[in-house]
Amino acid sequence: MEKAGATFLFCIIFNLTLFAQTVQSPISVHGSLKVQNGLIVDKNGLAPQLRGISFSWSLWQGRKYYNPAVVDWLASDFKVSIIRASMGVQPDHGYLQEPALQTQLIVNVVDEAIKNGIYVLIDWHDHHSNEHLAQSKAFFAQMAKKYAGVPNVIYEVWNEPEKISWDTVKNYAVQVITEIRKYDPDNLIVVGSPHWDQDVDIAAADPIAGFKNIAYSFHFYASDPNHQEKLRARADEAIKKGLPLIVTEWGVGESNGNGKFDRDLVKTWFQWMEDNKLSSANWNITDKAETTALLVPGACDNGGWTVEQLSPAGIYIREKLRELNK
């Protein structure tokens, strides 16, 4: 009887611990996201300021990290509240060539994010999405049917349009949004802007109308000489005009993935995000020998990374996330 009683007590304590963890998860705190008065807000009407990490392209070195164990580690050790699954589209072995495989990689990550109670961006990682409208609509229709009403899921319909007009980006976005809204009427949708998600001021002058819960992505690389005061001013103008922004990609180095990791410049950008209560995902989970890669070459495929397996960027981002995502 004593043994049975002890087992019963252990089960109660264990289940209460699990309940406490569930209560504390980002999704339990914030619930469904929506756009209200030019801001992304949570179920309480407050800006949630989610902070997390973007997976790299689901190609090359980055592909091996698209597994549930990595998602679990990012949630438990890095304390992310949001991740971004960046599905490669146009390069070899991307969605255009291997749609079933690429879709499964994304589903693996999204499903595990849901289990962990964190948010997840489904990112159509394509610089020329207007050339692949039919494929994009088919993919997002599939995702919207599968995840309709699941509050963790955010759709990002075009990663970094290149030097393409806002009219082209907007027309594409409207068509994809229309497709998503056939199946998922409410979940947040994120739209890109010209010049690698930097011309948010142009989007703010002529935003998409007729749909609810539409936000816009803004990207920067903190140490890039071209991504300083003038770029922040563009974002500030968009915010002033009431354009809801989310930083779906930013890096500590330069836009080519390399360059200097300037901690003073990173601090300035980080504080700017904090001041504006912007949610963000840092680029990126891969083990390339690059400044913005969070892992050193050869870091294991399934999370559990030691400090020695983290790059300087990885050590910095982990510390910031653990400090702020308490």
Residues 6+ apart with CB under 8 A from 319: none
Q: Over 80: is that where the pLDDT of 7 sits?
A: no
Residue 27 is assigned to a structural domain of this protein: no
pLDDT at 112: 98
Q: Catalytic one among 112, 156, 179, 249?
A: 249
pLDDT at 54: 98
Residue 21 is assigned to a structural domain of this protein: no
Question: Across residues 286-297, what is the average pLDDT?
Answer: 98
Chain segment 86-120, per-residue pLDDT in tens: 999 999 999 999 999 999 999 999 999 999 999 99
Band (pLDDT 50/70/90 cuts) for residue 60 is very high
Residue 249: phi, psi to the nearest 5? -155, 130
- The pTM assigned to this predicted structure is 0.92
Domain that holds residue 287: 33-324
Q: Over 90: is that where the pLDDT of 22 sits?
A: no
Q: How many C-beta atoms lie closer than 10 Å to residue 135's C-beta?
A: 17
Q: Please list the residues that pair with 282 across neighbouring strands.
A: 53, 250
Query: Is 131 known to be catalytic?
Result: no
Residue 28 is assigned to a structural domain of this protein: no
The CATH number assigned to the domain holding 77 equals: 3.20.20.80
pLDDT at 326: 79
CA-based end-to-end distance of the chain? 40
Band (pLDDT 50/70/90 cuts) for residue 24 is confident
Q: Over 50: is that where the pLDDT of 9 sits?
A: no
Residue 22 is assigned to a structural domain of this protein: no
Share of the chain above pLDDT 90, in %: 92
Identify the burial level of 100 via C-beta atoms within 10 angstroms of its C-beta, where 0-12 means exposed, 13-18 middle and 19 or more buried.
exposed
Band (pLDDT 50/70/90 cuts) for residue 18 is very low
Q: Catalytic one among 160, 179, 254, 290?
A: 160
How many residues are recorded in the chain?
326
Residue 2 is assigned to a structural domain of this protein: no
Share of the chain above pLDDT 70, in %: 93
Residue 78 CA to chain centroid, in angstroms? 15
d(CA 43, CA 109): 24
pLDDT at 20: 39
Question: Across residues 61-73, what is the average pLDDT?
Answer: 98
243: which 2 tokens?
A: 């354009």
Residues 6+ apart with CB under 8 A from 300: 309
Q: Over 80: is that where the pLDDT of 259 sits?
A: yes
Query: Is 319 known to be catalytic?
Result: no
Band (pLDDT 50/70/90 cuts) for residue 297 is very high
pLDDT at 106: 98
pLDDT at 263: 97
Q: What is the mean pLDDT of the chain?
A: 93
Residue 17 is assigned to a structural domain of this protein: no
d(CA 174, CA 146): 21
Amino acid at 108: N
Residue 171 is assigned to a structural domain of this protein: yes
275: which 2 tokens?
A: 């001041």
pLDDT at 4: 41
Residue 77: phi, psi to the nearest 5? -100, -50
Q: Over 90: is that where the pLDDT of 35 sits?
A: yes
Band (pLDDT 50/70/90 cuts) for residue 6 is very low
Domain count within the chain: 1
Range from 16-20, 64-68, 163-167, 287-291 carrying the lowest mean pLDDT: 16-20
Chain segment 198-250, per-residue pLDDT in tens: 999 999 999 999 999 999 999 999 999 999 999 999 999 999 999 999 999 99
Residue 103 is assigned to a structural domain of this protein: yes
Q: What is the 3-state secondary structure (H, E, C) of 49-110?
A: CCEEEEEEECCHHHHHHCCHHHHHHHHHCCCCCEEEEEEECCCCCCCCCCHHHHHHHHHHHH
